[in-house]
Amino acid sequence: MAETTAPATDRAGETAAAMTDGAPAPATSRARRGKPRGILVPLWLGYVFLYLPILVVVVMSFNESRNLFVWTGFSLRWYPELFADEAMMQGLVNTLIVATGATLIATVLGTLLAYGIHHYTRGGLIRAFAIAPAILPDLLLGIGLLTFFSLLSFTLGLHSVILAHGVFATAFVTAIVLARMANLDPSLEEASRDLGMGPAKTFLRITLPQLAPGIVAGALLAFTLSLDEFVIAFFTTAPTQPTLPIVIYSMVRFGVTPEVNALATLLLLVSIVAVISAQRLTRLTGTSR
């Protein structure tokens, strides 16, 4: 930079420096083009760490042998064996029942809560209360509900898991719908109320359709989280009605067959499809806003 003493020339010097040294556009594009490739090395290493275990499981699901650690040849035998495994299939059915029930509870309660919180509360107390289950350690909620149900002599089963999963799922739906709510144009609701519609009618006719993408996203998240949830289900279900994660848990504890590899591969496929379609969905709703 040009060092000058007189203030007047100083300013002139600055502009001159900006002119000569300037041309900011080529400078930045040069910086971008010349970005060291080395920066991507840790990213690739991170991906190796994240995907290597999954890759091993997927490859071994096509292994012929019953031995988990030795590759003997290609075979698809574990896939039909998986579907013939009654414990696994029962676990899958149980999990789907639980996830559906919990999602229904959470979608209804979470949407209502989000609407109520957005319109009728000022302090953050009810908001914090509604979102608390998402932050509460699953262990605490699990044993709390176990204690509560056993005190009431409430028989454990899928219905108790549905209620338990409904708790944390409600928190996630509330959070997502609230976020969507904050982006809505309030003038539509005001117009509806000015024209004499009651709060219930305004909610059903005006707010709900606008919230739909947020509600769907919340419901999807609730469903996925419930499918995968282990700790709370572990404490709140009956031993005779395990969900799929509990079936996998006891298999890993007491002896694994390569069926688990096949199951893992299929579940991975499902989550790839789910994540990518959720991405599409949010992008669509993002642009429609």
Partner 1 sequence: MTTTTPQATPAVRAQRARRGLAAAPFLAPGVFFLIVFMAIPVGLLAFYTFFKRGRFGGLVFEFTLDNWAKLAEPLYVGVILQSVGLAFIVTVLALLLGYPMAYAIAGLSPKWRTVALIAVVLPFWTNFLIRTYAWILLLNNAGFVNQWLQAIGITDEPISMLYTPQAIVVGLLYMYLPLMVLPLYASLQQLDPSLREAATNLGASPWRAFRTVTLPLSLPGALTGCIFVFVPAMSNFVIPELIGGGKTVMVGNLVRDQFYEARDWPFGATLALVLTMLLVVVIVIQAAVSRRITEGPRRG
Taking CB under 8 A as the criterion, which residues in 167-186 touch partner 1?
Answer: 167, 170, 174
Q: In terms of CB distance, is 73 or 123 closer to partner 1? A: 123
Is 154 a binding residue for partner 1 by CB under 8 A? The answer is no
Q: Which residue lies nearer to partner 1 by CB, 97 or 274? A: 274
Kindly identify the residues of this chain, within the stretch 30-89, that bind partner 1 according to CB under 8 A.
Answer: 31, 35, 39-40, 42-43, 46-47, 49-54, 56-57, 60, 68-70
Please report how close the Cβ of residue 122 comes to partner 1 at its closest, in angstroms. Answer: 6
> What is the closest distance, in whole angstroms, from the C-beta atom of residue 104 to partner 1 in the complex?
12
Q: Check residue 235 for interaction with partner 1 (CB under 8 A).
A: yes
CA distance 61 to 265: 7
* Stretch near partner 1 under the rule CB under 8 A, chosen from 2-10, 78-86, 119-127, 184-192: 119-127
Give least dist CB 70 to partner 1, A.
8
In order, the DSSP letters of 71-104 are ---B--THHHHHHH-HHHHHHHHHHHHHHHHHHH
Residues 86-105 vs partner 1: string with x where CB under 8 A?
Answer: -------------------x
Upper half-sphere CA count for residue 5 (Cβ side, 13 Å):
0
Q: Of the ranges 74-82, 83-91, 212-220, 244-252, which one interacts with partner 1 (CB under 8 A)? A: 244-252
> Which CB sits closer to partner 1, 53 or 186?
53
Instruction: Output the smallest distance, CB 245 to partner 1, in A.
Output: 5
Nearest-approach distance from CB 155 to partner 1, in angstroms: 15
